[in-house]
Amino acid sequence: MIKPVLVFGYGNLSRGDDALGPLVLEYIEEHAKHVLPSVDILCDFQLQIEHALDLENRELVLFVDASVACESAFDFAELTPVRDKSYTTHAMSPAAVLAVYQDIKKQVPPPCFLLSIKGEKFELGEGLSVNAGQHLAEACQFVGELLSTLDSRKWRQNCVSV
C-alpha cells in the first residue's frame, strides 16, 4: 500500500491560515486525481517523531505547511536533516523529522521538499484570510505542475522563492 511519492500537508483546519497545508491536499484529491495511483496523501495536525516512518520506502516527499516567514505567496525548498530543538515540543520541524529518520534508519532520507505557503492569521475558529486564499490558489497551481513530473531532479530546479 506504500506509494512512491508522499505529499504530507499539516496544520489545523480550524485555525485560519494554518489550514493551508491540508487544503492543498484537498486540491490534489479534487483536481489532480490522476496522480493518486503513485502519490500518497497524508494529513495531520503537527509533525511528530512517528512521521519519520512515513518516509520509509518513498522516492520523493513533499511537505506542505503554512508559514508567516514567506516573502512571497509561497516558498519551495529542498530539506536536509537538522537536529534542532523542536523534538522537545508538540510540533517538530520537517528537517527534524528527517533527522529522526536518519537516526532510526541509519540511512539518508529520500529527497524531501517543503512547500511553505504564506499565511497571516491563525486564530481558532477563523476561516482562511483573503490573502492566504490567493496564496493557496498560486501554490495549488504550482503543486499541480510539480506533480506532473515525479522526479526529484526536476523538483530541485524549482527550488527558489516564487
Residues 74-93 that bind other proteins (CB under 8 A): 83, 87-88
Q: At its nearest, how many Å lie between other proteins and the CB of residue 140? A: 22
**Is residue 43 within 8 Å of 23, Cβ to Cβ?**
no
Core vs surface per residue 33-54: b (16+ CB within 10 A) or e = eebeeebbbebbbebbeebbeb
Q: At its nearest, how many Å lie between other proteins and the CB of residue 54? A: 8
User: Where does the chain show beta strands of DSSP type E?
Assistant: 5-10, 39-44, 60-67, 74-78, 112-118
Question: Quick check: 41 binds other proteins (CB under 8 A)?
Answer: no
Q: At its nearest, how many Å lie between other proteins and the CB of residue 103? A: 5
**Is residue 94 within 8 Å of 67, Cβ to Cβ?**
no
Question: Quick check: 69 binds other proteins (CB under 8 A)?
Answer: no
Segment near other proteins (CB under 8 A), from 42-50, 58-66, 124-132, 147-155?
42-50
User: Site residues (CB under 8 A) for other proteins?
Assistant: 1, 43-45, 49-50, 52-53, 83, 87-88, 100, 103-104
